[in-house]
A and B are shown apart, each in its own frame.
Chain A
């Protein structure tokens, strides 16, 4: 009761609901620097309470929210710990969230103290609370501490991290995207109900710290100021500090920087800063000038090639006078397959893969299963060609292809002679291809110019992710432009497939093909729009539904077969279950599992397939650029870029980063921003900085005193961006 009153007072102070308002950044410096002794009058009892620690929970009610002096101290400390964080954009956690918690959790003392108020009979009574904000990526290294005020009945306390949306009726660590260290047994829980032996147990009076290293995506804990060693690796981004309690009487206090930490986190940060600086300083650079440039170019090129931006890659290679490792056809094949997946035509994608990369899917049963599951989902969606062909209004492209053998062989595995050509005489096809590629080369300028003009006419088409999902529910005007874009690239694709030696007078055919395609696609689009307005299972067609059911059975059988051959696979089971669940709802698009139908869900499938293909060709399954992005940071493979990235996160004024980002090529930027806007935009800049400053000395200077040389660097970047801009039209003309 009394505790509720305290919270109300919080509410009054911070009408926004718990989150403390940020201090204005433009506060006069003199005020901030005043020695911390003077302004403490209001809250002395509060700080004492926190120090007294073990005192009873309700005794401390007189101490309400932290007063201005504490708040000021906190802000000062946070700024010192995390100088690169722009707190206006990405606020740091300052207290527990009164909203993002389970009922059994009670908060007090400015939402810093957590106590358990359920009955705590068993694990079903577990309760957690998250901090008000996720850990900003720009922290580099983040740290918070929790003091165990009382271990309560059994001391089932968990301290850790979790992503937004993770069930709060659980202790941290038990679920996916949730990580925790538990006091009763000292085990660490990494998204699993069973823990691993990790460290000592902890109990009343102990101070447990949790450090997230966003540079290598690891986490370690501390107990009473002693590091316990790495607990988790490969952490995802955007995690929230989290604590969970399970039995009555458990009380813990958080310290997000309100007080000095027991563990010397600043020393740890110093070590990492030194590490990064020395890596930058010692980074070996050959005598040849421009090697940096080459590295950057290589990275950009590999990124473009990886995602199949074929014409852009070619243009880039031409401009920069470099070569592309992978063969053109190979890139285009992948591009085609990717497009099919992204368009929801998974069945065709599977066929194309089987045809172009025989054996690939056979060796990757998991991938095949994933694709088939997706295909099923797409059938429900009505986008997969297998069901689409039943659509009365628009016989889908696939059906029309076998009827016109002059067209690209890509859509039919039933097109047997193409198959044999590809497999039997690769040299021959190669020979043809070389001439062909020249041909397509010459066509580029016209193509790209036309597309760029179209894109300039409608700015929305520039938006990369939208054009991505042609088949999804989009506004009318938009689909028309994206349609046009598609036709461009489709044509390009056609050109690419002549090398199979089927055709001779290519130019007319191209025209034909293009024309036809546009027609088909046009109708497709209109049919799509229809299905948008009244979305029905398999586009509402009965035959299609039957086909889908049949496919579902096949899928079930495949699953069982895999199960027999490789043993149980929970991931498969879940996938299958989710996919089949769609049928249980009259409106699959608006059901709890309806998210699967979202075109965005095609992306992971697409990426997995692309990586598998690349791997089978002995090419890196991820472009260095993406590696460096730290999404699955394997620092070893590209240490330097990651480091410089981090360095920039720490030292680069974010305002300038944002400015620079705006001038980045759009597709790159979109891709990069998708996960975490700030993190990746900074990376993009870092990446450019790294590659651009071709003289090591300049970069070194940045490392040592970045404040002074940022200006210098800035101009360099601007200069390079101009050259990057040359590529913009190409990038805009392609979709990925």
Chain B
């Protein structure tokens, strides 16, 4: 009876009951109860309607916790509770409200194996329910170590404990698909913690040997456990590489599980393990187990023969695997016509299913969003670096239409993935000019940017950066639809990535733009905000802001115009940066701005009258870094250029400062650029 109850995972078939303790009426009653509880109908309605039955649950719990009651009775209680937990989510909620978890955990301390197994089974059922908070497992530090110790007891304890672990260290939903490019604040605070707790309790060593267990269920649950533990966790991944079981290293065992005759679930899960290990740097991307095993396996998971769930998971994992490696992207792009295969992901629900089979339609509908977003993600990864692959993707049937449609879908997941895909494809100059323009992708993109959550804004604004490049034909319409305002507001965001993207897009926008746009940008941004950005803690923001300034300050009339209105503040900012502790690139960029200012007609005076700045320029002319020297030289040669009005005075002033001596020195420099520049500058003096 007991054994049957514990092992039976099938809630539909009532346990066969024969009573070993005929004279114990409680056990007998429980047996009856179990029979009824096992029937689904009863289980589902147990807590819903009848308060009396809630009482039964409480009673069971009470009996369970009674040290005095016999082990058999307590085991029966655990079995029945397990059956109850298999009912609706409401059942689980009610049980949680009765504090079932501490009670069951307490039960694990019992010496009786059967009772422990029953408790574990019940715990497992409760923890795999989506309504159970994972943290409940971690409330007591001793629980984990006790579970680890129980792992050696029997194959049932192994199976259940592994299953509990793999469900209790789930990352948040965004991350199950694994895009590291997401900004920091989104990281789930608990995920890594859970992994670390389990890792510190020796999970890797304790579970590794279960991978070669004779029981398929144990092998599978252990594998799942590892796939969760290793996900985005370099510490676990690095450890896994070196663990060996029966003289075989874990990666080898995983590769064996990838064999094509293994169950699909096993292939997919072990591919996920290897993917995590690869992304964590524990396995090289050119290792044959990745290139020749994991990648082809994941491509196979995307094929039409697989279940829809498997195809989603396969595509997402593959997208994660190849995200940053162009060689893997190239291999994936030629494997089994993957790019064409993915086009099929958009064909659900198919027109056939709608007519013929309601059940199938329901199933298709349920997965349609997931399929689409997975395909978009994989396309995004495939096209991240290689222009030829991007071309192939865009040439896939109706690709641009699909992206455009995806951008306006109701599901935020699909929208996000579509934007990602668009972003990846927008790196192609050719596509920006052709298909992007043909399909007016900027329209839905601008729409997506309205009131979108941050993670969407990040990707969408990155895409916008590319669409605003000067050669992109979308630039004009985007400007007209009020992009400046939007981007300026992004620069004020708390989110770093958004600030970078906002200012970056503005920078691109200002490149070789007309006067009006430039003033619009300056007005939209406001000087205060500009200075705010110049003092941003992030180097990227600073760099892009300087880049924006530099782009604003190009062509003489623009320079003079802007400097006449904002000259004072800009000079101040420049001084500040040159004095501050910044890296070479930042200073170079700043000197370039100065050089641009020096190119203006009236703006020149702002420098010439500022001795502090002139001293700084002089200083950088003799700096140890050739780049900075060169940038400073640009300033000087712009200031002393002969043909311009007042050049004589400027030349004189600079000579007095000792610039000419430095120029002479530099003309002897070993750096040809520097040398040339210095010579040309000196010629200005001779003329």
Contact = CB atoms under 8 A, between A and B. Distances in A.
Interface in B243-294: 259-261, 291-293
A274 B267 CA distance: 14
Interface stretch (A226-234, A337-345, A430-438): A226-234
A225 interface: yes
Interface stretch (A263-271, A354-362, A704-712): A263-271
A215 to B, nearest CB: 14
Given A225-B292, A226-B296, A264-B292, A199 B334 contact: yes
Given A225-B292, A226-B296, A264-B292, A270 B337 contact: no
Contact of A267 (B259, B291, B331, B335): B259
Contacts of A273: 261
Contacts of A228: 334-337
| Interface of A, helix, strand, loop or mixed by DSSP | mixed
Contact of A268 (B260, B292, B293, B341): B260
Contact of B260 (A225, A229, A274): A274
Contacts of B291: 225
A228 B341 CA distance: 12
B296 A227 contact: yes
B259 A229 contact: no
Interface in B304-336: 331, 334-336
Contacts of A225: 291-292
A200 interface: yes
Chain B interface residue bracket vs A: 10 to 19
A279 to B, nearest CB: 13
A230 B331 CA distance: 16
Highest count of chain A CB atoms <10 Å: which of B261, B296, B336, B337: B261
B334 A223 contact: yes
Contact of A226 (B260, B331, B341): B331
Given A226-B296, A264-B292, A271 B336 contact: no
Contacts of A271: 260-261
A60 B234 CA distance: 49
A228 B291 CA distance: 14
Interface in A281-334: none
Contacts of A270: 259-261
A23 B645 CA distance: 98
Contacts of A264: 292-293
A264 B260 CA distance: 10
A271 B293 CA distance: 14
A604 B127 CA distance: 66
Contacts of A227: 296, 335-336
Interface in B337-368: 337, 341
Interface in B150-164: none
Nearest to B395: A197
Q: Which of A199, A267, A273: most chain B Cβ within 10 A?
A: A267
Contacts of B336: 227-229
A521 to B, nearest CB: 55
Interface string A204-245: 000000000000000000010111111000000000000000
B268 to A, nearest CB: 14
B255 to A, nearest CB: 10
Nearest to A199: B334
Contacts of B261: 267, 270-271, 273-274
Range class of the A interface residue count: 10 to 19
A734 to B, nearest CB: 43
A258 to B, nearest CB: 21
Nearest to B293: A264
Contacts of A268: 260
Contacts of B296: 226-227
Contacts of B293: 264
A228 B334 CA distance: 6
B430 to A, nearest CB: 19
Nearest to A278: B261
Interface centre among B259, B260, B291 (most CB of A within 10 A): B260
Nearest to A223: B334
Nearest to B262: A274
Nearest to B295: A226
Nearest to A263: B292
Nearest to B258: A267
Nearest to A228: B334
A229 B336 CA distance: 4
Interface string A401-441: 00000000000000000000000000000000000000000
Interface in B43-73: none
A274 B261 CA distance: 5
A271 B261 CA distance: 4
A264 B294 CA distance: 13
A98 to B, nearest CB: 35
Interface in A343-391: none
Contacts of A230: 337
A228 B333 CA distance: 9
A200 B335 CA distance: 10
Nearest to B336: A229
Which interface residue of A200, A228, A229 has the most chain B CB atoms within 10 A?
Answer: A229
Contact of A200 (B259, B260, B334, B341): B334
A348 to B, nearest CB: 45
Interface string B17-39: 00000000000000000000000
A11 to B, nearest CB: 39
Interface in A245-285: 264, 267-268, 270-271, 273-274
Interface in B213-267: 259-261
Interface string B665-680: 0000000000000000
Contacts of B331: 226
A507 B331 CA distance: 78
Contacts of A267: 259-261
B286 to A, nearest CB: 12
A187 to B, nearest CB: 14
Nearest to B331: A226
A228 B331 CA distance: 10
B500 to A, nearest CB: 37
A640 B335 CA distance: 29
Interface in B509-541: none
Nearest to A274: B261
B298 to A, nearest CB: 13
A227 B335 CA distance: 6
Interface string A31-74: 00000000000000000000000000000000000000000000
A142 to B, nearest CB: 17
B271 to A, nearest CB: 14
A692 to B, nearest CB: 28
A268 B260 CA distance: 7
A273 B259 CA distance: 12
A202 to B, nearest CB: 11
B533 to A, nearest CB: 46
Contacts of B337: 228-230
A207 to B, nearest CB: 12
B623 to A, nearest CB: 48
A266 to B, nearest CB: 9
B197 to A, nearest CB: 38
B421 to A, nearest CB: 22
A594 B247 CA distance: 70
B318 to A, nearest CB: 14
Nearest to A225: B292
A230 B303 CA distance: 12
A199 B337 CA distance: 8
15 contacts: A225-B292, A226-B292, A226-B296, A227-B296, A227-B335, A228-B336, A228-B337, A229-B335, A229-B337, A230-B337, A264-B292, A267-B259, A267-B261, A268-B260, A270-B259
Interface of A: 199-200, 223, 225-230, 264, 267-268, 270-271, 273-274
Given A227-B335, A270-B260, 5 more contacts: A199-B334, A226-B296, A227-B336, A228-B336, A228-B337
Identify the 8 closest CB pairs spanning chains A and B, nearest first: A271-B260, A274-B261, A229-B337, A270-B261, A229-B336, A200-B334, A267-B260, A226-B335
